[in-house]
Structure formats: C-alpha cells, structure tokens
Chains A and B, each alone.
Chain A
C-alpha cells in the first residue's frame, strides 16, 4: 500500500522553465492538497481539490496551476518558474475531517 506518491523527489530548474509535479494516492480519498514549505516556515496551502472535478485556491496560489485528473491524481504545474518558488512541495490526501496523509515531498530548486 503506497499511500501518497509524489514524483519527482528532486528537481532543479532554470528561471522561466515549466514543470509539473505529480501526486497520486491509492487510499480512495476524496480530497487532495498541495502545500509548500520554506525554511523556518510552516506549511502553506497552494491549491486543494475537495473532490474529483473541483479545485480551489489556497493561501499562495500565484504562479501555480493544478489539475485533478481523476480521483487518484492531482498535479501541480509551474508555468514559468521563479527563484521564489524554490521550496519543498508536499502533496496530501484525506477523507472529510480525518487526518491527512502526506507524500515524501518534492525538493525543487530554481536557479
């Protein structure tokens, strides 16, 4: 049982490049989330999907887009990467008000 799987685990980009972070869960959870965590700071919500077919902005959505491809998959896209987007990105999933389950994270550096 893999839980929440994120790919890639590490990535280095140049400013202006684009990329998509992938997230998949096998727990049949309805809700999925993308967070970023910067050094010395807490988790900040970028986007979330309460259920398949819906997505909503979180606290820091600028510069990102998301796609809830199906119930299992929720991707995060950086259209034109900026150094300020250097961070660790976590994907999470949950059912209603139950605890979230997190992926291992993607460590993204933008030069």
Chain B
C-alpha cells in the first residue's frame, strides 16, 4: 500500500461546478498535511496547509479526518484557471520527509 494515495483522475468538470478530491495516508503518526498545485510539470506550489479544524481560503476548503486518515480538498465555483494537478502531501515529524501523492488531475471545461 502506498503511503499517500490519490485518485489520479482526470476529473473533467464544467466551469462553476464544485469538485472534491480525497487523499488517504497510511501513517497514523503523520502530523502535517498540505495541498499543492502543479501546472504541466512546473514546480509544485503550495495551495494550502490543512489544519485539524479544517480551513478555508476563498473558493478552496481543506479538511482533515484523522480517524479515517484522509484529507480532502473542495473547490467551489471552478474556474478554467483551476485546471492543474493537485498534490496531497503528508509530513511525519522525526522523519524530515514529505510524502507526495501522485496527484489528481483536474480539467475545468468552458
């Protein structure tokens, strides 16, 4: 089993739609969680950190479920510019390692 798993997609959604991605992780000792966005093999860029209480940044909402060991990303009112690959990242304290999922590809269609 991979340490961090994501549905690769692609998720094809119309503009204005709401779309949600999940990511599961296997190490229950994991402490920090992030969503990154990556465009066409450019460098990953931080979208948002994921906090235990859940957090929102504009159209984006991230949630953490420690009991079931998954994090989620919700995108509301999708824009064409949201088309990208979304990477789930998990950090376990003491290992210094960030474990990346393989990414979920999103295509927002006009």
User: Which of A's residues lie within 8 Å of B, judged by CB?
Assistant: 31, 33, 37, 39, 41-43, 45, 48, 50, 56, 58, 88, 90, 92, 94, 96-105
Contact = CB atoms under 8 A, between A and B. Distances in A.
27 contacts: A31-B96, A33-B98, A39-B41, A41-B102, A42-B87, A42-B101, A42-B102, A43-B44, A45-B97, A48-B97, A50-B96, A58-B97, A90-B43, A90-B44, A92-B98, A97-B32, A97-B91, A99-B34, A99-B46, A99-B49, A100-B89, A100-B98, A101-B46, A102-B45, A104-B42, A104-B43, A105-B42
Nearest to B48: A99
B46 A37 contact: no
Interface of B: 31-32, 34, 41-46, 49, 87, 89, 91, 93, 96-98, 100-103
B85 to A, nearest CB: 9
A85 B98 CA distance: 22
A48 B96 contact: yes
Q: Among B34, B44, B49, which residue has the most Cβ atoms of chain A within 10 A?
A: B44
Contacts of B98: 33, 45, 92, 94, 100
A99 to B, nearest CB: 5
A58 B99 CA distance: 11
Contacts of B32: 97-98
A43 to B, nearest CB: 5
Given A99-B34, A102-B43, A104-B43, A42 B91 contact: no
B76 to A, nearest CB: 23
Nearest to A41: B102
A39 B31 CA distance: 29
Contacts of A94: 98
A41 B85 CA distance: 11
Nearest to B47: A99
Nearest to A97: B32
